[in-house]
Homo-oligomer: A and B are copies of this chain.
Amino acid sequence: MATQVIVLNGGSSSGKTGVARCLKAILPQPWIHFGIDDLLEALPPSLMGQGSGIEFGAQGEVEVGEGFRQIESAWLTGLAAMARAGARVIIDDVFLSGGESQERLRPHLEGLDVLWVGVRCDPEIVVGREIARGDRMIGMAALQAEVVHAGVTYDVEVDTSHTESLECARAIAKHVV
């Protein structure tokens, strides 16, 4: 059965988006790409910040409330529906709770052919990339680098520490059927 969804999981600044763009460029079929950052853009002000929404602390920590969880769940249902309707979908996500996040995502993708991909990057390296990007809260990359992979099961893993995004995308593409 043909791959319908590619899930890229990795911490902030690990290079997921670059890998996703390369995947879109090299895969023979058209794939569309959505990420958790797109959901953040779509949120109303009432769900950004303290309370039931998503909150970003000064040291890069992320707190997620019930209101955010509900909307995130509906959003994932929608991405899965796109895939069921025939679009090939790359989802880039940050599994803040590692394996638990994966288990929360799994039922949404029920019946779809999913390729689970871990995008790793050495904590020491990712910290420098966060500085070089200049648009992220400093501290988030280091906090997330390893915890997002704890207890997660993958079909493929890539490591952007010493491998370019395009090379990582080529390694992933071999598993896309």
Q: Which of A's residues lie within 8 Å of B, judged by CB?
A: 15, 17-19, 21-22, 24-25, 27, 30-34, 38-39, 41-47, 67, 70-71, 73-75, 77-87, 125, 127-129, 131-134, 138, 162, 164-167
- A131 and B78 in contact, given A30-B67, A38-B38, A43-B32 (Cβ under 8 angstroms): no
Q: Which residue of B lies closest to A42 (CB)?
A: B32
- Count identical subunits in the complex: 4
Are B25 and A125 neighbours in the complex by a CB distance under 8 Å? no
- A30 and B44 in contact, given A128-B22, A131-B166 (Cβ under 8 angstroms): yes
> Quick one: which of B70, B71, B85 contacts A73, CB cutoff 8 A?
B85
> Quick one: which of B74, B87, B129 contacts A71, CB cutoff 8 A?
B87
Are A74 and B45 neighbours in the complex by a CB distance under 8 Å? no
Are A129 and B86 neighbours in the complex by a CB distance under 8 Å? no
